[in-house]
Amino acid sequence: ETGVTQSPTHLIKTRGQQVTLRCSSQSGHNTVSWYQQALGQGPQFIFQYYREEENGRGNFPPRFSGLQFPNYSSELNVNALELDDSALYLCASSLASGGYTDTQYFGPGTRLTVL
Element (H or E) spanning 114, and its range? strand 110-114
Contact residue for another protein among 35, 72, 75, 81 (CB under 8 A): 35
Using the rule CB under 8 A, is 31 a contact of another protein?
Answer: yes
Using the rule CB under 8 A, is 74 a contact of another protein?
Answer: no
Using the rule CB under 8 A, is 60 a contact of another protein?
Answer: no
Using the rule CB under 8 A, is 2 a contact of another protein?
Answer: yes
Contact residue for another protein among 74, 109, 112, 114 (CB under 8 A): 109
Query: Cβ(4)–Cβ(46) under 8 Å?
Result: no
